[in-house]
Structure 1
Amino acid sequence: MTLAAQGPEPWPSLLKYGNASIIPQKTATSKPGASKAGSKIVLPMEAKKDSVSQTEDILDSILPPRTWTEGSDVWIQKVSSAPATRLDVINLQEKLDQQLQHRQARETGICPIREELYAQCMDELIRQVTVNCAERGLLLLRVRDELRMTIAAYQALYESSVAFGLRKALQAEVGKANMEVRIQQLEAEAKELDRQVAEWKNKCEVNEKKEIDRKAYEEKKHAEEIAYFTRSNKQLKAQLEAFLAPAKK
């Protein structure tokens, strides 16, 4: 492949890049196929820089060039250092809306596609501001990095809470199974106790019935004995009176 003023585009991005060029083999820092998007390529620096080169250096530091391989050539593409106009901002907004719709990003909730597109849009805005005012661009970069750190902290906290919730759910499932076994044991014990209570109630009823029958038999026997002794007493009294009657005469 020959050196071209405008190289092939490796992947679409909302961030505006300049023309791609081939890295000479003697200055390439990585072998073909080993480069990744976003990796920074260290190139020979000029001894004396003007304002344009300083802006380009700042852009390269905050928005590293992207590299890729095609065949045996290693391509590099830096972000554009061209100043942005009002039309560029309008086009950026239109491209953002088109990409959101084309890639079917979710409007609400967590969506990696929407997050990626808005990150590219933020990088492009930082690029546009940096070209006009490097200090303002560096401040925006600081704000962007802080927001990313905050989001990463929230993501870590979310993942930790999800893991904690899963552990608690597993513990609850294990505890639920143990409680179900314990409930079955207690229900079996309760049934056994109910059976024993019913058995003892039957025994109590039988014993009460026997005791009532025995008491009635004892009372009847006692009444018969009283009646027998009463009759015997009357007979003896009559005999005694009959025996004593002649003696009185």
Structure 2
Amino acid sequence: MDVVNLQEQLDLLLFQRGARELGLCSVRRELFSQCFDELLRQVTITCVERGMLMMRVQDEIEMTIAAYQTLYESGTIYGLRKALQAEQDRIDLETKIVDLETENRDLERQVAEQKEICKVIEKREEDRRKLEERKRNVEIEALKRSNQQIKVFFSLFLFFFCRYSKFSARDNLGLII
């Protein structure tokens, strides 16, 4: 009868204090511990040997629960540490992405500037080349005219020289060539 009363009191206290049915619950653990202590007290009154055995079982259960609690806390701390590390890694990667995108934009801007500079230099060089070509063509034309004038002058000179001198044109042909 004491066990039935104890069961009813336990159920009532679990309900009143809002103990969770699943998972870790400190309220439920405390109430079950008190219930086990009461059972242990009652059993020890009737049979000391059973009470001592139940006390050893209770101690073993408490050590097992403490070990599980330590494992749970260690796992939770490890999980939190890994989550924080993953978050920090994500932030670092996002920062690196932003930095690389900025660097990429800067490099693209530099490439565009260098292309513009290259176009300007190519245009200037093309203009300079055309100007040099025109100068050479003008100089060639001037040299051709000068050469033509010298030929005409020399032909006239030779004509008059042969006409008014004692040498014949045949004798002077070697001078022309």
- State the TM bucket, normalised to the shorter chain: 0.5 to 0.7
Q: How many residues align?
A: 163
Match for residue 122 of structure 2 among 204, 208, 220: 208
User: 1:248 corresponds to which residue?
Assistant: 169
User: 2:133 corresponds to which residue?
Assistant: 219
- C-alpha displacement of 1:212: 1.0
Larger Rg: 2
User: 1:147 corresponds to which residue?
Assistant: 61
Cα distance between partner residues in 2 of 1:153 and 1:173: 30
Cα distance between partner residues in 1 of 2:99 and 2:67: 47
More strand by share: 1
Alignment of 1:110 onto 2:31: no
Deviation digits for residues 78-117 of structure 1 (CA, Å, limit 9, x no counterpart):
xxxxxxxxx3333332222222112221112222211111
SS of equivalent residue, structure 2 residue 24: coil
SS of equivalent residue, structure 2 residue 18: coil
User: 2:34 corresponds to which residue?
Assistant: 120
SS of equivalent residue, structure 1 residue 94: helix
More helix by share: 2
Structure 2 matches for 1:12-91, cutoff 5 A? Answer: 87-91=1-5
- C-alpha displacement of 1:216: 0.9
Cα distance between partner residues in 2 of 1:197 and 1:215: 26
Cα distance between partner residues in 1 of 2:157 and 2:109: 71
User: 1:136 corresponds to which residue?
Assistant: 50
- After TM superposition, the score normalised by the length of structure 1 is 0.50
Deviation digits for residues 191-230 of structure 1 (CA, Å, limit 9, x no counterpart):
5555544444333322221111101111111122122222
Deviation digits for residues 29-59 of structure 1 (CA, Å, limit 9, x no counterpart):
xxxxxxxxxxxxxxxxxxxxxxxxxxxxxxx
Name the structure, 1 or 2, with higher relative contact order (CA <8 Å, separation 6+).
1
Cα distance between partner residues in 1 of 2:60 and 2:20: 25
SS of equivalent residue, structure 1 residue 152: helix
- After TM superposition, the score normalised by the length of structure 2 is 0.66
Match for residue 231 of structure 1 among 135, 145, 161: 145
Cα distance between partner residues in 2 of 1:138 and 1:192: 80
Cα distance between partner residues in 2 of 1:193 and 1:129: 84
**AA of the residue aligned to 2:52:** L
**AA of the residue aligned to 2:5:** N
Cα distance between partner residues in 2 of 1:116 and 1:92: 15
- C-alpha displacement of 1:135: 1.7
- C-alpha displacement of 1:120: 1.9
SS of equivalent residue, structure 2 residue 20: coil
Which one is further off, 172-181 or 107-116? 172-181
Q: Aligned Cα RMSD in Å?
A: 3.7
Cα distance between partner residues in 2 of 1:149 and 1:89: 26
